Amino acid sequence: MNIWLVMLLGGALTFGMRLSFIYLFGRFEIPALVKQALRFVPPAVLSAIIAPALFMPNDTLDLSWSNYRLLAGVVAILVAWRTKNTLLTIVAGMAALLVLQVVFR
Amino acid sequence: MNQTMKSFWAGVRAESPLLVGVFPFGLIYGALALSAGLSPAAAQMMSSIVFAGSSQFVATQLIHDSTPGLVIVLTIGVVNLRHMLYSASVAPYIEHLPMRWKVLLAYVLTDEAYAATIIHYEEEGFTPTSHWFFLGAGLALWTTWQVSSALGIFLGAAIPSSWPLDFAAPLTFIALVVPVCKDKPVVAAALSAGIVALLAYSLPFKLGLILAALVGILIGTVFENRNSPREVL
Please state the domain extents for chain A: 46-103
Q: Which residues of B fall within a CB distance of 8 Å from A80? A: 174-175, 177-179
- Mean pLDDT confidence for A57-77: 94
Closest residue, chain B, to A13 (C-alpha): B77
| Chain A: closest CA distance from residue B192 (Å) | 8
Whether residue A33 has pLDDT greater than 90: no
Q: In this structure, how many other beta carbons lie within 10 angstroms of the beta carbon of residue B158?
A: 7
What's the pLDDT at B166?
73
* Contacts for B127 with CB less than 8 Å, ≥ 6 apart: B7
Cβ atoms A86, B176 nearer than 8 A: yes
**Rounded Cα–Cα distance for residues B126 and B89 (Å):** 14
Cβ atoms A50, B194 nearer than 8 A: yes
Handedness of CA B69, B74, B76, B79 (dihedral sign): negative
Helix B99-107 vs helix B82-94: angle between axes, to the nearest 10 degrees?
140
Answer whether A8 sits within 8 Å of B49, measured CB to CB: yes
What's the pLDDT at A97?
95
What's the pLDDT at B157?
67
The type of residue at B102 is K
**Rounded Cα–Cα distance for residues B29 and B151 (Å):** 10
| Chain A: closest CA distance from residue B146 (Å) | 15
CB pairs under 8 A between A and B: 266
Q: In this structure, how many other beta carbons lie within 10 angstroms of the beta carbon of residue A93?
A: 30
Answer whether A86 sits within 8 Å of B17, measured CB to CB: yes
Between B173 and A15, the more confident residue is A15
Closest residue, chain A, to B215 (C-alpha): A44
| Chain A: closest CA distance from residue B163 (Å) | 8
- What percentage of chain B exceeds 90 in pLDDT? 49
What's the pLDDT at B232?
47
ipTM above 0.90, yes or no: no
**DSSP string spanning chain B?**
--HHHHHHHHHHHHHHHHHHHHHHHHHHHHHHHHHTT--HHHHHHHHHHT--HHHHHHHHHHHHTT--HHHHHHHHHHHTTHHHHHHHHHHHHHTTS-HHHHHHHHHT--HHHHHHHHHHHHHH---TTHHHHHHHHHHHHHHHHHHHHHHHHHHGGGS-TT--GGGHHHHHHHHHHHHH--SHHHHHHHHHHHHHHHHTTTSGGGHHHHHHHHHHHHHHHHHHHSS-HHHH-
**Rounded Cα–Cα distance for residues B137 and B15 (Å):** 5
Whether residue A22 has pLDDT greater than 50: yes
Which has the closest alpha carbon to B33: A1, A3, A24, A53?
Answer: A3
Q: Tell me the pLDDT tens digit for each residue of B31-42.
A: 888 878 899 999
What's the pLDDT at B213?
86
Whether residue B212 has pLDDT greater than 70: yes
